[in-house]
Amino acid sequence: MSRFKLYIEYDGTRYSGWQKQQNSKTIQGTIIKAAEEIFGGSKLDIQGSGRTDSGVHALCQVAHLEVKTMLAPEIMKFKFNDKLPHDINILEIEKAGLNFHARHDAVSRSYIYQISRRRTAFGKNYVWWIKDKLNFSKMQDAAKEFTGMHDFSSFAEEDKEEKSTKVLIENIQMKEEGDLILIRITGSHFLWKMVRRMTGILVEIGRGNMSVKDLKSLLSSKSHLPAKYTAPPSGLFLEQVIYKGDNNLKELVSTFSVSKFKNSIYRK
């Protein structure tokens, strides 16, 4: 058996998330189906760096493929992209060590969330359009409270697979780019719906409906309030999965620009 590292981009609009499900179309399930056709029924395994929710996108998801094959990585890449639908694309495949694990070996991950200040005919599936005026400075100041190690149980959907709700948020960057507000959150890992609920609370602070004091309270004690303000999945992108030795993140720009510079996202 050989193990390969796959770098994958996808538009999650038509899919019920990353993780394979019996009666739903998912990213992992679609890639496994393509792999089974390519490798003719050979035993194989494909595991991602983590799950993305229904409707969430990825600029660069990482997965590992374990299969017995003599195909070169570049040939495999072409074969996969011939089989996959238009909204899933293999950016690159490279040989990996037999012990490499896409999820266990990741040291951190980054997500980008896009908020649009105007209605858009083209980007509906890739932004959260907010009609209300948002105070960007207040949102930026409040975002600093998320950094560090916190218990994010108030910001996560209950998940029996999670052993702990404590997460280290390494950095939050925010930027205004034209009609967009961009939020990049980098952390050790993320809980189910956590980024979308963090974003939702920041938006409420931007609207003037909540304060930094309210945010501190949500981080210090369990509350179901963030669930009420869960941001839609359309604006969320898994940007990068970071492994030991990878370069630091590049400049924060909108996903429409980031996609043009994919080499800077996943190459060391």
Q: Domain coordinates of the chain in residue numbers?
A: 2-96, 107-259
Residue pLDDT, tens place only, 190-242: 999 999 999 999 999 999 999 999 999 999 999 999 999 999 999 999 999 99
Q: Is the pLDDT of residue 261 over 70?
A: no
Strands 57-67 and 88-96: unpaired
- 2-96 and 107-259: same fold? yes
pLDDT of residue 236: 97
- Bridge partners (DSSP) listed for residue 106: 243
Q: What is the mean pLDDT of residues 162-177?
A: 91
Q: Which pLDDT does position 42 carry in this prediction?
A: 85
Band the pLDDT of 164: cuts 50, 70, 90.
confident
pLDDT per residue as tens digits for the range 38-70: 999 789 999 999 999 999 999 999 999 999 999
> 247: phi > 0 → left, psi -120 to 50 → alpha, else beta; which?
beta
User: Which sign does the torsion angle of CA 202, 208, 210, 212 carry?
Assistant: positive
Name the least confident of 129-133, 157-161, 170-174. Answer: 157-161
* Geometric angle at alpha carbon 39, from 103 and 19, rounded to 5°: 35
Q: Which CA distances in Å does 30 have to 167, 236, 248?
A: 30, 21, 31
Was domain 107-259 assigned CATH 1.10.150.20?
Answer: no
Residue range 107-117, pLDDT digits in tens: 999 999 999 99
In this prediction, residue 160 has a pLDDT band, given cuts at 50, 70 and 90, of low
For residue 7, give both structure tokens: 């770098």
Domain at 2-96, CATH class: alpha beta
Count of positions (residues) in the chain: 268
CA distance 244 to 118: 39
Residue 256: per-residue pLDDT: 60
pLDDT for 264 equals 43
At residue 162 the predicted structure's pLDDT band, cuts being 50, 70 and 90, is low
Q: Which pLDDT does position 35 carry in this prediction?
A: 97
Please provide the average confidence, as pLDDT, over all residues in the chain: 92
Q: pTM of the entire structure?
A: 0.91
What is the sign of the dihedral through the CA atoms of 265, 7, 126 and 138?
A: negative
Phi, psi values for residue 12, rounded to 5°: -85, 5
At 58, is the secondary structure helix, strand, or coil?
strand
Residue from 53, 82, 159, 179 carrying the catalytic annotation? 53
- Spatial contact of 49 and 241, defined as CB atoms under 8 Å apart: yes
Over pLDDT 70: what percentage of the chain?
94
For the segment 127-143, what is each residue's pLDDT rounded down to a tens digit?
999 999 999 999 999 99
Going by C-beta distance under 8 Å and a sequence separation of 6 or more, which residues neighbour residue 24?
16
Strand spans (E) along the chain: 2-10, 44-48, 57-67, 88-96, 106-116, 128-129, 148-151, 166-177, 180-187, 236-243
Mode of pairing for the β-strands spanning 128-129 and 106-116: parallel
Judge whether 53 counts as a catalytic residue. yes
Q: Are 80 and 31 in contact (CB under 8 A)?
A: yes
pLDDT above 80 (res 120): yes
